[in-house]
Amino acid sequence: MSTPPPIPKSESNPDFELEREMTEKLKDAREQIGRELSKVIVGQNEVVDQLLVALLCGGHCLITGAPGLAKTLLVSTLAKVFDLSFHRIQFTPDLMPSDITGTEILEETSDGGRELVFSKGPIFANIILADEINRTPPKTQAALLEAMQEKQVSVAGESIKLDAPFFVLATQNPIEMEGTYPLPEAQLDRFMLNIVIDYLPEDDEVEVVRRTTAGPGEPVTQLFNGEDLLKCHQVVRKVPVADEVVRYAVRLAAASRPNRSGAPDFVDEWVNWGAGTRASQFLVLGGKTRALLEGRAHVTFDDIRAMAGPVLRHRILVNYRAEAEGVTVDSVVKKLVESVSEKRTAKM
């Protein structure tokens, strides 16, 4: 892997040394983190890459996958690699907002009096695994989504800041849908990526069974810390991106909106609702992070295309005709990538 060129020093870039240091550190991050995760996790390289993109630029993720595919193990292992505090919250129909954010309790003071003291809930951690988020009522979902958007919680009329960095990785079980409360599209849009975890190939599954039925494996080594991640967030946003690449990301998102000028025929036929502006923003932000992980300090069209699936799949709502014809959201995204040109041909 070639050494990425440093971001140019200028008057508008006073943190040049910090950026050069973090760019160098990110150059080998994917390989180093992959080595540590491989001590515990078998396969799932694409999933790991997408999780890294979200963590390194500060985005939240949905993780969709059947039970037993090591979603919790993957997230908790990542927390160890980055030396971040980790809490898993099992979402259930009776879970209340205060069960997540915390509540005030009455405690006796040293002078014999009593006072209300805030007891922090499990939301106060660097990485939150919201397990089966669609199994809890909208009121409780809203408490989590406020924390995601504002990086704070509201308790007894006061706002309390959360620890930084702060990430929410929410899982959904695609099999059992009875008794669930699906997230509305406006709330799904808060998640940067929707990462799909599928079943492993036979050889990888054999390796999983072999490891998990033997003794304890190698311990995972910490490679980064929370301060490093916060520096990464700054560096990622300063990666230069060409105007035509930004325009391509915007056209890709805009092409998913039915009944608009420039939308492909298959979008008008199969899609009820397309991606908004956040999709374009996350395509570019994810492209910047991916470029740094691959040792480049510039974003290419391939970076945008690589992010299209996880960024768009939860922002496009297909209609009944698509479902009747067996057309999935992923197949719509694939056709979008194939049909949208890198060059601007007409106004959208």
Q: pLDDT tens digits for 288-322?
A: 999 888 888 889 999 999 999 999 999 999 999 99
Domain range enclosing 257: 239-341
Number of domains making up the chain:
2
**51 lies in a domain?**
yes
* pTM given for the model: 0.85
Domain termination site, one of 181, 204, 236: 236
Place of tokens 């983190």: 33
Tell me, yes or no, whether 227 lies in a domain.
yes
| Domain containing residue 227: CATH number | 3.40.50.300
Residue 311: inside a domain, yes or no? yes
- The number of CA neighbours under 13 Å toward the Cβ of 222 is 11
Amino acid 17: pLDDT: 60
Q: Is residue 1 part of a domain?
A: no
Final residue before a domain boundary, out of 236, 258, 292: 236
What lies within 8 Å, CB to CB, of 226 at 6+ separation is: 82, 83, 84, 126, 164, 165
Residue 3 lies in a domain: no
* Residue 150 domain-assigned (yes or no): yes
Q: Which of 236, 266, 295 is the last residue of a domain?
A: 236
- The predicted-structure confidence for 239-277, as pLDDT tens digits, reads as follows 889 999 999 999 999 999 998 877 898 989 999 988 989
Beta strands 114-120 and 317-318, pairing class: unpaired
